[in-house]
Each structure stands twice: as C-alpha cells, then as structure tokens.
Copies of this chain bind each other. A is one copy, B any other.
Amino acid sequence: MERIPILKLQSYLLVSIQTDLHDVIITALQEDILKEISETGARGVLIDISALDLVDSFMARTLRDCGIMAGLLGAKVVITGIQPAVAITLVDLGLDLSGITTACDIDSGFEILQEISAIK
C-alpha cells in the first residue's frame, strides 16, 4: 500500500500531502504520524495540504482527530496551505477543524509550531 512519507526536520515532523488520498491511506497516515511522534519524541507536526483542491469530511475529521491524538502524545499539529476553495467547502459543509492551528505557508507554520511547542 502506498504510504505518505513523514519527513523529520529538527524536532518536528513534516508531512506534505500531494494528491487526494483514499480513506485507507489517510488512516494509515494518522497511525504513522502517531507512531513517528512516539518514536522520535517530535514536539510538533506540520501537515501541508497546499496541493489539495478538495478535502472531504472523512479527511477533515481524520486531520482533526490526528491533532487531538498528537496533543495527547505531547506534540502540536499545524496544518498549512489550506486553499481558499478548500476553506469554503469546509465551512459550507459544516466540517469542523476547530482546535487545529492553521497557517498560510510552511514558514509561518514552523514559526507557530516553535512558539506553541515551546510553551507547552
């Protein structure tokens, strides 16, 4: 099965989602992220979805759950690069990313991660 690679950058993990993902791959990604946090002791995870034109309800829920679960392991999650069209869809469909920190690009995402993971 195809798996999304999780890149380690200093104390943070970076996940770049490049194509629309099947539900199975999203679920596997969630597991991989949690495993990687617990193995590496990463303080934060940055998930970039700038390449996605569409985020469905399953993916939105999985991303939110992943943020909460990672929080339990002591890592903060920041999602970057949400396209305007994706933001519109999320709100129109009543999909909820509340509790997840977002940022427009990776640079800002890392800055936010450094701030919020420093004062945890």
**Interface residues of A, Cβ cutoff 8 Å to B:** 2-5, 7-10, 14, 16, 18-19, 48, 50-51, 105-107, 110
Query: How many copies of this chain sit in the oligomeric assembly?
Result: 2
Q: List 12 A-B contacts (CB under 8 A).
A: A4-B18, A5-B48, A5-B50, A7-B16, A8-B105, A8-B106, A8-B107, A9-B107, A9-B110, A14-B14, A16-B16, A18-B18
Are the C-beta atoms of A2 and B16 separated by less than 8 Å? no
Given A9-B107, A10-B107, 10 more A-B residue pairs with CB atoms under 8 Å apart are A3-B51, A4-B18, A5-B16, A5-B50, A7-B16, A7-B50, A8-B107, A14-B14, A16-B18, A18-B18
Residues of B within 8 A of A5 (CB): 16, 18, 48, 50-51
